[in-house]
Amino acid sequence: MLTLLEIARLLRRAKVTQGPAEVSPELRGWAYDRQPVKPPAYLGLALSDFAYGYCPTGRSLYLKYVLGERPQPTKPLAEGQALHAVLFKALEDFRRYVYSGTPMSPPGEGMPEDLRAKAEALYRYIAVRLTGEYQHVLASRLARSRDAAAFYAAPIAAQIAVDGAPLGLSYVVADGVALGAVVEFKFGPSQNVDVALAGYAMAIEAEYGVPIDYGIHVQISIDGQVEYRATAYHLGDAPRAKFLEARDEAIDVVASARDPGPAPQCPKTCPYYSVCRS
């Protein structure tokens, strides 16, 4: 999934079409000790609870953090979590195949029966794609070592966790990082992806002090066959400012313990839908 050549092309295309990667110094994650990056309060909110903007009024934050309500499992949420686990297993199994020769094997027990076909299709697709690219770069002598060939085929470092406390967040786990860009995979509806990517990038900047100027959103669909669409975003001032605005609004809801009320319209796939509408 996303070889080195693909990621390089995505980033080059973003640089050509979106202009040079310029970011104001005060909006870098490492500027966490001063406004506007410094949070109004340190409440340890989860980035995914607000950055994607799924709840128009932010009432899900009030229900979770003020009233202590637990999210209700929904089918789209469970499916997304299961398919993410399959994707990460495939990436891990690929490296085991490279370094120890262990054959890649799709997930077995534990996978819900109604997701088994999608899970196996996703795993097979990733296995064929990565092993094929690996053998290609070895045979073409494009890579001069097994380690380099593995990097050409699968350059994404998966599930990068950083301490989000400098930004007022809990631990932040990005799906992946590659070539200085943060990567997120989505299997269902998604919105505000550039804003969320900016949040992941700023958390990594705060942790390691290195610039993350681009984000890559990979939308994956599985309907008999696997298809994906990858888009690179320049994480400039605009998405960073929107992320900080969303974070400050989220902190305000929780810190003030005010009920923002339900939105006129909201998706039934929200894990707080039944609680919110009861």
Residue 175 has pLDDT above 80, yes or no: yes
Statement: residue 29 has pLDDT above 90: yes
Say which CATH number the domain at 244 has.
3.90.320
Overall number of domains in the chain: 1
pLDDT band of 18, cuts 50, 70, 90? confident
- The token duo for 260 is 């923002």
- First-residue to last-residue Cα distance in the chain: 42
Q: What is the pLDDT of residue 76?
A: 87
Q: Tokens for 15, please give them.
A: 């640089």
Q: Would you state the structure tokens that stand for residue 184, as one six-digit string?
A: 């997120």
**Could you give the C-alpha distances from 62 to 165, 257, 271, in angstroms and in order?**
20, 7, 13
Query: What is the token pair recorded at 45?
Result: 């909110």
pTM score, two decimals?
Answer: 0.93
The parent domain of residue 158 ranges over 4-277
- Note the pLDDT tens digit of each residue in 41-76: 999 999 999 999 888 899 999 999 999 999 888 888
Please choose, from the candidates 212, 272, 277, 260, the residue with its C-alpha nearest in 3D space to the C-alpha of residue 59.
260
pLDDT, average across residues 270-275: 88
